[in-house]
Amino acid sequence: MMSRTHIPVGIASALAVAPPHAQLTQLAIYAVAGGLGAVLPDIDSHRSLIGRKLKIISDVIEHIAGHRKLFHSLIGAAGLFGLAYILLRLSYPLYLILLLPLLVGYLSHLVLDTVAGGTPWLYPFVKDRFGLHFETNGIMEKWFFRPAAVIIMLFVVYHSLSLMGGAGR
């Protein structure tokens, strides 16, 4: 799937796990981290949005790990977030708040890729990709998955804002 489809789903997924009655700043942090988490797995492709922004890092990762392999698996996600957790605990514990929305966005990417070409969920133990084979940026993505993703995101944003805790409440 394209980043344009991943981002709204990442935002919606992260907001869905935000604490109830969170305040606007916290919702904004969750939304941004969720959107970022949702494009993060494609750092293993130099053609993706994030791969083009972080070209050198992406080239190295693609060369070593390959596209839609370790970075698109549960083990890869567990390793990456486990490492980030340890590093943040030791250095900037304040930023630990970012990990949940980032992780949820990340996992939403793997779920969406399952629809478009399949995700190697159990890589490196099982190398097969599981899922359906709708074409990336094909008719289904453009006319169904992406509009649906945007509608779901708008709904979740509206819902989160309507539950938002006000100052002094």
Q: Under the rule (CB under 5 A), what is the footprint of Zn ion?
A: 41-42, 113
Indicate the residue among 62 and 113 with the shorter CB distance to Zn ion: 113
Indicate the residue among 41 and 101 with the shorter CB distance to Zn ion: 41
Nearest approach, Cβ of residue 69 and Zn ion (Å) = 11
HSE-CB at 126 with a 13 A cutoff on CA atoms is: 9
Torsion of CA 86, 36, 113, 100, to 10 degrees: 40
User: What span, in angstroms and rounded, lies between the C-alpha atoms of 66 and 144?
Assistant: 29
Nearest approach, Cβ of residue 94 and Zn ion (Å) = 30
**Helix, strand, coil percentages in the chain from 3-state DSSP, rounded to 5:** 70, 0, 30
CA angle 91, 64, 83 (to 5 degrees): 20
Indicate the residue among 42 and 62 with the shorter CB distance to Zn ion: 42
Nearest approach, Cβ of residue 113 and Zn ion (Å) = 4
Indicate the residue among 125 and 136 with the shorter CB distance to Zn ion: 136
Nearest approach, Cβ of residue 42 and Zn ion (Å) = 4
